Amino acid sequence: MTSPTAPPPEPLWLIAANVVRWRRYGDGGQELRPGTKAYRGGAKVYILGARPGGHEQVTTVGPGRHTGAYITLDMGTRHLHTFRAALVRSPTVLRREAENDAGRVWDGREEAEENAVRLEGLAAAYRAERWEGVAHPTPCLCHTCLVTPA
Ligand SMILES: [Zn+2]
């Protein structure tokens, strides 16, 4: 518990992103599941950093699918989109950021913006790589199909 006299935590530039509405799943990616196991499709999450060894997984804080209470979770970057810099004031999110040892490599707005652009490209590449050469179901609602209608 924080003492009532403690000053509010300093705002921090993190990266916000949204969970894909639908993701491909199952044999040959022919099934579609809404959101992820932990998050609803469309949920807004904040990126705290990436684990060493790559950016396939990022550490996120966001509202859990079942309770809406904030959770901290490593998840596939490919399940996220619309990465953007966000000045975070939420004490809940800031507390979780402080508790977490995720490797945040940016500091300040400009670096958050640069990393958001990079993650957007990586997420699209990871989606393409995950199902390379495998046809999408018809019809398909995966993020790639939603943003590039046939
Ligand atoms: Zn698709």
For residue 78, how far is its CA from the centre of ligand 1 (angstroms)?
Answer: 13
For residue 20, how far is its CA from the centre of ligand 1 (angstroms)?
Answer: 12
For residue 75, how far is its CA from the centre of ligand 1 (angstroms)?
Answer: 20
For residue 96, how far is its CA from the centre of ligand 1 (angstroms)?
Answer: 34
Over the stretch 100-139, which tens digit does the pLDDT of each residue have?
987 888 999 999 999 999 999 999 999 999 999 999 999 9
Decide if pLDDT at 9 tops 90: no
pLDDT grade, residue 3 (50/70/90)?
Answer: low
Sequence-separated (6 or more) residues with CB below 8 Å from residue 17 = 44, 45, 46, 47, 60, 80, 81, 82, 83, 84, 116, 119
Q: Tokens for 62?
A: 């966001």
Residue 48 Cα distances to 126, 129, 146, angstroms: 19, 24, 27
For residue 40, how far is its CA from the centre of ligand 1 (angstroms)?
Answer: 18
Q: How far apart are CA 67 and CA 63, in angstroms?
A: 8
For residue 24, how far is its CA from the centre of ligand 1 (angstroms)?
Answer: 7
For residue 119, how far is its CA from the centre of ligand 1 (angstroms)?
Answer: 20
For residue 115, how far is its CA from the centre of ligand 1 (angstroms)?
Answer: 26
- SS3 of 105, please? coil
pLDDT of residue 149: 63
On the 0-12 / 13-18 / 19+ scale of CB atoms within 10 A, 16 is buried
Over the stretch 39-71, which tens digit does the pLDDT of each residue have?
999 999 999 998 777 899 999 999 999 999 999
For residue 6, how far is its CA from the centre of ligand 1 (angstroms)?
Answer: 49
Q: How far apart are CA 87 and CA 66, in angstroms?
A: 26
Over the stretch 12-26, which tens digit does the pLDDT of each residue have?
999 999 999 999 999
Residues within 5 Å of ion ligand 1, judged at the Cβ atom: 136, 140, 142, 145
- SS3 of 13, please? strand
Q: How far apart are CA 38 and CA 145, in angstroms?
A: 23
pLDDT of residue 4: 67
